[in-house]
Chain A
Amino acid sequence: MRSRAVGGRTGSGIEGAIVLCMAIAWSGAAGAHTSVKSPATEGVRDDNAIRIGHGCEGERPVVAQSIVFPTDTPEIAASDPNVVVGDLSEVVLQGSLAGLAQSIQDRSIFGYQDEIVDANGNVVGFQARKGSLSPKLVGRVPFQFSAPRFVAESCARRLLVEIAVADICSAQQPILDPHKVNLWIPDNGSLFALDGRAAGVEGIGAPATLIVQRNLATNPLAEQCGAGFDVTVTPSAAQIDRDLPIRYYWFSKTPR
């Protein structure tokens, strides 16, 4: 459990209890997962951010980061077990999330930023390095997102975009070590998930999630949809293994 000193003093009795409670509260905040700051609304472009809750084990600061959106043959699942979604185009008009996110230039944590692009040059993720996030502080990595629109005939009311994030504290071998990286990635069979879990790395199975909300006022659900359902889109294991590494810096080859 991470803790933060409160004025460097502790008291007895009530004062001590207050201090203890505050320390526990701050520990909870500092121990938060890496996550997405705000939900998005369909058809709206807005700024958002990846929230970094803490560094690596041993109070190690985050010095680099890799972020991958689900754009290449992603896994798609509906919250209603009776619904099968074959393709993202059944849910959102664009049919793909490639090109909808863009990194915002920011020097508060990292000194070098890069974008991951697909074969067509569309942004599918971001990478950053030459940074240091104080273990006492939380971090914000800003990005712009143009939220996709829901297909009118779809019964989806929310699109849950799972984003794979690697918070890197050291790029030295062996890389998969809880003192060197947190992997906020889906547990879906990627080499990062398999080897990371075996090494005790934190975050596997807990990717950051960007929620895209349907605008029910302008794009209401059809009557037969009832309350509708959520659709979750997740980066495939293959895309994580291919796009999460930072070329020439961190896992520039496959983990094994």
Chain B
Amino acid sequence: MRGSKRVSFGSSRRAGWAFGSMVGRLGLLAMTAHVPGLAAAHTLSGSLGSGAAATDYYQIVCSDDGAGPPESLTVQIQDAAPAAAPLVSVQVRAGLEISNTTDPIDGDLSPSVAIHVNGGPQAIYDVLVDKSAAGTESYVLTYHCLTGPDGTGLHTGTTLVVRQNQ
């Protein structure tokens, strides 16, 4: 189904945009305060349907945006409020390397431990978000590509493509 997202310059929307931007920045600041060193990250808010097997699938494409060729991807998952029984996890795969992290507490604003996958400059990362049981879940996925191994170096080009949304 075709849809669109809008960028409008109408003066009547400036106040709302400014307020929303401020709230968004405060939210991001609150999140990054729990994860030292995780600056200039990308975030995505998503949700998983009620089925126990519900899985969201993303591909993250790292590129050289001038900061340098990408070497690794760093990912965290936050199991967002409201608190519920299922725990949310994320798996990241590049080639034969795969890693997993789970947010152990639902709805506490603290994300999971960060994981780093070293895909190298040619990698396309498969990222799966899933949960431990039936019931709807909301989450915030944080991800960024870096020029060094194991999540070090400079932030570089990071593009997320949605492959499956359940």
Measured CB to CB, the residues of A under 8 A from B are 43-46, 93-94, 96, 98-100, 103, 105, 107, 111-122, 127, 146-149, 152, 218-219, 242-243, 247
Q: Is B49 an interface residue (CB 8 A)?
A: no
Residues of B within 8 Å of A93, CB to CB, are 122, 124
Instruction: Name 28 A/B residue pairs within 8 A (Cβ), A-sorted.
Output: A43-B121, A44-B63, A45-B157, A45-B159, A93-B122, A94-B124, A99-B159, A100-B61, A100-B161, A103-B7, A112-B8, A112-B9, A113-B8, A115-B4, A117-B4, A117-B5, A119-B1, A120-B164, A120-B165, A121-B162, A122-B161, A122-B162, A146-B61, A146-B157, A147-B63, A149-B124, A242-B2, A243-B2
Q: How large is the interface on B (under 10, 10 to 19, 20 to 34, 35 or more residues)?
A: 20 to 34
Q: Which residue of the partner chain, among A45, A100, A105, A118, contacts B2 with CB atoms under 8 Å?
A: A118
With A44-B64, A45-B63 known as contacts, the answer to whether A114 contacts B163 (CB < 8 A) is no
Which residues does B use to contact A, with CB under 8 Å? 1-9, 59, 61, 63-66, 69, 121-122, 124, 157, 159-165
Could you say which of A46, A105, A119, A147 contacts B7, with CB atoms under 8 Å apart?
Answer: A105
CA distance A99 to B8 in the complex (A): 20
Residue of A nearest to B69 (CB): A43
Interface of B is mostly: strand
| B162:A149 contact, CB within 8 angstroms | no
Residues in chain B near residue A100, CB distance under 8 A: 61, 159, 161
Complex CA gap A122/B3 in Å reads 10
Give the 3 A-B residue pairs with the shortest CB-CB distance, closest first.
A45-B157, A99-B161, A120-B162
- Inter-chain CA distance A46–B157, complex, in Å, is 9
Chain B residues whose CB sits within 8 angstroms of the CB of A44 once the complex forms: 63-65, 157
CA distance A148 to B64 in the complex (A): 11
Q: Which of B9, B66, B157, B161 contacts A96 (CB 8 A)?
A: B161
